[in-house]
């Protein structure tokens, strides 16, 4: 695939938490790929900052190890690796202390983009913002990148927004939702707004319903204590699924520009109706022979959901009457993320009722094998009369755009470079995040008030039976969870 590399201004990027898991697994490899692509201008540098006492050289060793671990060998040529490592530096800083800031300030260059990536626990976001300001490290045009989770509920998100905005303008704050950096998600907008074909059908007159599924095969792993305080609703629905939902449901923005897009997303969240208790199914994995969710979080009475399915209604002209079904969970049958737009039956069948069983479906796959498939109905070949069959029009990006699937950039590559370019389109604005919490909070409060206990489901299944029942009740069914 030939990809066009857009030049960016030179930059100093500081990664707070530069020794942590996210930095090692995602941020540093993303930067390396951009470096290889020629998108790291002369002089651009990356400075790790964390509590460990490391020299620049020790940090370079850590970066080398991380890249060797997380990038396949054939994509890590020695000369490129060495040249990239040269751009690394390190400063020992405790976000809650006063040491190290003068050193960091001394390393900042004038007249380049300054970006500060907060890849640390959210409890430190406020302290970092404050100290960057107090020690005059940030400078007037600095950008800060804030990881998830952004708050635990509306009150904490508001308070975090207020703290960050004491020291930075909204235009300087980049709240990451890495789902928005996925190639397919951007393609969703290209398909909707770049073609005349879909938009006229994109409404309740033609769309029966929409399903959004984010299924994982892993359990809570080492994140048990964090996850148990959060659950699938806070960890996945409030942010990732909500963002996907907004992009599917929003009105066409007037331009592909940050505030035009984010204004439309915000309107979607504000048009959400409260969810009814019988339109939510919460689940917890628990099967024979392997650790259950409660084992994983070491709480035999935990009522946190590792699975959730819910039905959303939008009260606006475009979508009134078309439900959106969202579902996400851990320890499910396959790792897959998909949005499916299921169209209505043809209004009249000239083929004796047979068309009714053939529905057009536009399936947008985020992982694995990013791409889109449109199921269309055609005549089954052969002399056997007018028999209809569904076939996929398949646009797997790797097939459509070139043989080398690795060339589809990782979400973090796109997002980090957008920060350097100063483009906030794929980042969440403060009011969006607050609106999403404002909708989420009462849903959680309602199940907490009635001490709702999640339904058990077998690891490796599609979630609790009740989720399937919720769909059957309405004459619909979930799409199969498969890789």
Q: Which residues contribute to the site for ligand NAD (CB under 6 A)?
A: 16-23, 50-52, 93-96, 119-122, 124, 147-148
116: Cβ contacts below 8 Å, ≥ 6 apart = 13, 14, 16, 128, 132, 138, 142, 143, 144, 145
Residues 22, 262: Cα–Cα separation, whole Å: 26
Tokens found for residue 345 = 């039956």
Which backbone phi and psi does 434 adopt, to 5 degrees?
-65, -40
Tell me whether residue 119 or residue 336 sits nearer to ligand NAD (CB atom): 119
Minimum CB separation of residue 154 from ligand NAD in Å reads 19
Q: Annotated catalytic, 178?
A: no
Minimum CB separation of residue 265 from ligand NAD in Å reads 20
**Catalytically annotated residue among 240, 313, 348, 358:** 240
Closest CA to 411 of 20, 11, 22, 27: 27
Tell me whether residue 3 or residue 123 sits nearer to ligand NAD (CB atom): 123
Tell me whether residue 148 or residue 313 sits nearer to ligand NAD (CB atom): 148
- Report whether 440 contacts 308 (CB < 8 A): no
469: Cβ contacts below 8 Å, ≥ 6 apart = none
DSSP code string of 105-143 = HHHPPTTSEEEEEE-S-GGGHHHHHHHHHHTT-S-TT-E
Q: Which residue is nearest to ligand NAD (CB)?
A: 20
Residues 28, 39: Cα–Cα separation, whole Å: 14
Minimum CB separation of residue 93 from ligand NAD in Å reads 6
Minimum CB separation of residue 186 from ligand NAD in Å reads 19
How many angstroms from the chain centroid is the CA of residue 417?
Answer: 17
Minimum CB separation of residue 59 from ligand NAD in Å reads 11
Work out the widest C-alpha separation in the chain, in whole angstroms.
81
Tell me whether residue 57 or residue 474 sits nearer to ligand NAD (CB atom): 57
Q: Which residues pair with 221 in a beta bridge?
A: none
Q: Which residues pair with 41 in a beta bridge?
A: none
Tell me whether residue 304 or residue 360 sits nearer to ligand NAD (CB atom): 304
Coil vs helix vs strand at 394: strand
Tell me whether residue 243 or residue 322 sits nearer to ligand NAD (CB atom): 243
Minimum CB separation of residue 112 from ligand NAD in Å reads 23
Q: Which residues are designated catalytic?
A: 240
């Amino acid at each position: 695939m030939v990809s066009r590399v857009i030049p960016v201004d030179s930059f100093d990027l500081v990664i707070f938490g530069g020794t942590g898991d996210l930095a090692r697994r995602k941020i540093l490899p993303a930067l390396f790929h951009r470096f290889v692509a020629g998108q790291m201008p002369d002089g651009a540098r990356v400075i790790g900052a964390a509590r460990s006492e490391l020299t620049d050289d020790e940090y370079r060793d850590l970066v080398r190890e991380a890249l060797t671990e997380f990038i396949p060998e054939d994509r890590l040529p020695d000369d490129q690796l060495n040249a990239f490592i040269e751009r690394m530096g390190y400063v020992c800083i405790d976000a809650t202390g006063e040491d190290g800031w003068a050193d960091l300030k001394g390393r900042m260059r004038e007249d380049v983009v300054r970006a500060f990536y907060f890849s640390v626990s959210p409890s430190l976001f406020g302290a970092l913002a404050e100290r960057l300001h107090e020690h005059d490290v940030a400078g007037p045009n600095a950008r800060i990148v804030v990881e998830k989770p952004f708050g635990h509920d509306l009150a904490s998100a508001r308070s975090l927004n207020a703290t960050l905005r004491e020291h930075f303008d909204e235009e300087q704050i980049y709240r990451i939702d890495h789902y928005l950096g996925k190639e397919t998600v951007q393609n969703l907008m290209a398909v909707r707004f770049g073609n005349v074909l879909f938009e006229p059908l994109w409404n309740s007159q033609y769309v029966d319903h929409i399903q959004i599924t984010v299924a994982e095969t892993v359990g809570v792993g080492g994140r048990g204590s964090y996850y148990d305080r959060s659950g699938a609703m806070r960890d996945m629905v409030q942010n990732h699924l909500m963002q996907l939902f907004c992009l599917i449901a929003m009105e066409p923005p007037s331009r592909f520009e940050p505030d035009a897009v984010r204004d439309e997303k915000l309107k979607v969240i504000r048009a959400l109706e409260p969810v009814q208790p019988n339109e939510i199914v919460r689940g917890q994995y628990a099967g024979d022979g392997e650790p259950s969710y409660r084992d994983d979080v070491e709480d035999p009475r935990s009522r946190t959901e590792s699975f959730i399915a819910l039905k959303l209604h939008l009260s606006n002209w475009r979508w009134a009457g078309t439900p959106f079904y969202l579902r996400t969970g851990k320890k499910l049958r396959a790792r897959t993320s998909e949005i499916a737009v299921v169209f209505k039956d043809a209004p009249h069948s000239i083929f004796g009722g047979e068309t009714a069983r053939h529905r057009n479906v536009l399936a947008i796959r985020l992982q694995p094998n990013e791409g889109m498939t449109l199921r269309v109905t055609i005549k089954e070949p052969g002399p056997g009369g007018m028999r209809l069959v569904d076939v996929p029009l398949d646009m797997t990006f790797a097939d459509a755009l070139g043989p080398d699937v690795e060339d589809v950039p990782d979400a973090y590559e796109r997002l980090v470079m957008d920060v350097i370019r100063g483009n906030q389109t794929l980042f969440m604005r403060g009011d969006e995040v607050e609106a999403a919490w404002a909708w989420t909070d009462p849903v959680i409060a309602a199940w907490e008030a009635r001490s709702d206990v999640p339904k058990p489901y077998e690891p490796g299944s599609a979630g609790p039976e009740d989720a399937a029942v919720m769909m059957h009740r309405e004459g619909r069914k979930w799409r199969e969870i498969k890789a």
